[in-house]
Copies of this chain bind each other. A is one copy, B any other.
Amino acid sequence: MQIAILSFFHYFTPMFKKRENVFEVEEGKFLSPKFDVDGLIPVITTDCKSGDVLMHGYMNEEALKKTIETKEAHYWSRSRKSLWHKGKSSGFIQKVVEIRIDDDQDSVWIKVDIGSGASCHVGYKSCFYRSVPLGKIKDSNKIEIEFKEKEKKFDPKKVYKNNSNPTKL
């Protein structure tokens, strides 16, 4: 019963400022993030030095709050269905340099410092290690993508050991 009351209370009291009108959301000075039906907001993570996009993830209210307060990136892991302090198991912590929010406050951009580390569970620095060729498509079932990172920064088998692969078909 206590849990039910707490859930009910939480549902009607978002952690951040309530979204009251479009002008306030777009031109106002208060953070009023929009979380989707699953309680998540998409997050773009870039390397503060190179500017490269490292990963695309999601945060729930708690992950966003923890990221702001601890200055270390926290996400919501959709595969594990739990709060995810990035780097806690791999050692590849993301130190947050800046957080930006977009016009309608339904996505977040964080700039992070990963030192000489990596961000991708496959072993590359960025998750976006492959490039898609531009121009007329001959056969959309055989579009060959090009590896832009040639070497892995670490061996995932050694770092993650027996953890299950988050990639889903």
Contact = CB atoms under 8 A, between A and B. Distances in A.
Contacts of A148: 100
A91 interface: no
Nearest to A29: B144
A137 B34 CA distance: 18
Contact of A100 (B26, B130, B144): B130
A44 B69 contact: no
A56 B103 contact: no
A128 B26 CA distance: 10
Interface stretch (A4-12, A81-89, A161-169): A161-169
B26 A143 contact: no
Given A44-B56, A46-B53, A56-B107, A131 B98 contact: yes
